[in-house]
């Protein structure tokens, strides 16, 4: 266990209080989770404690979250959870997380903003290859050179049916149980139409947020069904792997989606027989 102690400085309790946190994670795998279980180590997600007036540390947030994977910015909302006048807080965890920058946001909620959606214009699935990986220090601080691509790489794929190459706009236009199934080396190329965005007023700036909803499956030795595409995931509060009787919907509409789109068979690593199954 370790802590990262922060001094919030002076802040106004009548305004929202947030941490804007840049960082990345040495993301754990099913293998490492199993090893931790064997060693009696319980992963502890970051929680937040605040120092009260008596000098005692009091937990105020049970699970703050952490940046999932490669470098990104996350928000930790402390509004209404840290007592007014508190300056010192600390983040407690036993996970390997690299924090690069942490900013304190105590902005007024009255700052005006407008939200405009840029509609999806096109989406195409194709094989691209494997961009060059550049390791940093530590080694898992990586980035990719998109333009430098190899058509082969030391990667394999789960056995099963993937989405056929070509137009997939209908699959990524909305959140539902019809999605693009793609593997290593594949690419979904998306284009957006900004032609109807409103003009910026004087003194305003525009930021862009890319919203993506989907699922990922490890090929880890200890991952459930890690060697096959199926069983397909779906939006549910039931944790994966799904228990008997709960599975991807197989009504006429979703069967039609599978038959129309998921028609690209991949047999998996050399020497393995082709296997494909759906949950009953």
pLDDT value of position 229:
94
Residue 273 has a pLDDT of 38
Angstrom distance (rounded) from CA 69 to CA 175 = 23
Residues recorded for the chain: 280
Integer CA distances (angstroms), 253 to 143, 156, 193, 230, in order: 40, 31, 29, 18
Judge if the upstream peptide bond of residue 228 is cis by omega within 30 degrees of 0. no
What was the pLDDT predicted at 269? 53
pLDDT at 15 over 90: yes
| Selected residue with higher pLDDT from 23 and 141 | 23
The Cα–Cα gap between 231 and 111 comes to: 46
pLDDT the model gives residue 280 = 41
Looking at every residue in the chain, the average pLDDT score rounds to 91
Assess whether pLDDT exceeds 60 at residue 28: yes
Domains of the chain from N-terminus onward: 2-105 (2.60.120.260), 120-266 (no CATH)
With 0-12 CB in 10 A as exposed, 13-18 as middle and 19+ as buried, what is 158?
A: buried
Q: In this predicted model, which residue has the larger pLDDT, 223 or 263?
A: 263
Instruction: Report the pLDDT value the prediction gives residue 94, as an integer from 0 to 100.
Output: 93
pLDDT at position 272 is: 39
Q: What angle is formed at CA 74 by the lines to CA 149 and CA 82, rounded to 5 degrees?
A: 170
HEC assignment per residue over 152-211: CCCCCCCEEEECCCEECHHHHCCCCCCCCCCCCCEEEEEEECCCCCCCCCCCCCCCCCCC
Rounded to an integer, the average pLDDT of 235-240 is 95
Give dist(CA 176, CA 215) in Å, integer: 12
30-44, 84-98, 115-129, 158-172: least confident range: 30-44
Higher pLDDT, 122 or 224: 122
Joined tokens for residue 178: 């019809």
Give the lowest-confidence range in 142-151, 204-213, 262-271.
Answer: 262-271
34-43, 116-125, 134-143, range with the lowest pLDDT: 134-143
pLDDT at 278: 46
268 pLDDT tier (thresholds 50, 70, 90)? low
- Residues with Cβ within 8 Å of residue 249, at least 6 apart in sequence: 177, 234
């Amino acid at each position: 266990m370790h802590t990262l102690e922060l001094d919030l400085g002076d802040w106004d309790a009548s305004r929202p209080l947030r941490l804007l946190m840049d960082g990345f994670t040495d993301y754990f795998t099913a293998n490492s989770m199993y090893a931790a279980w064997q060693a009696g180590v319980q992963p502890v997600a970051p929680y937040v404690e605040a120092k009260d007036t008596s000098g005692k540390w009091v937990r105020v947030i049970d699970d703050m979250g952490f940046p999932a994977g490669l470098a990104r910015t996350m928000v930790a909302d402390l509004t209404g959870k840290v007592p007014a006048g508190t300056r010192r807080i600390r983040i407690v965890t036993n996970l390997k997380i690299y924090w690069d920058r942490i900013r304190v946001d105590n902005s007024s909620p009255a700052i005006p903003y407008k939200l405009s959606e840029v509609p999806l214009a096109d989406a195409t699935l194709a094989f691209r290859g494997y961009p060059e990986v550049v390791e940093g220090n530590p080694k898992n601080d990586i980035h990719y050179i998109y333009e430098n691509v190899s058509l082969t790489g030391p990667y394999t794929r789960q056995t099963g049916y993937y989405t056929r190459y070509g137009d997939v706009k209908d699959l990524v236009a909305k959140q539902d149980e019809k999605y693009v199934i793609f593997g290593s080396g594949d690419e979904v190329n998306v284009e957006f139409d900004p032609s109807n965005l409103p003009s910026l007023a004087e003194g305003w700036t525009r930021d862009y947020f890319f919203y993506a909803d989907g699922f990922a499956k490890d090929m880890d030795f200890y991952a459930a069904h890690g060697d096959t595409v199926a069983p397909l995931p779906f939006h549910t509060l039931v944790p994966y792997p799904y228990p008997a009787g709960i599975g991807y919907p197989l009504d006429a509409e979703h069967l039609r989606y599978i038959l129309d789109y998921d028609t690209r068979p991949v047999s998996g690593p050399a020497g393995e027989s082709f296997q494909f199954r759906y949950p009953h």
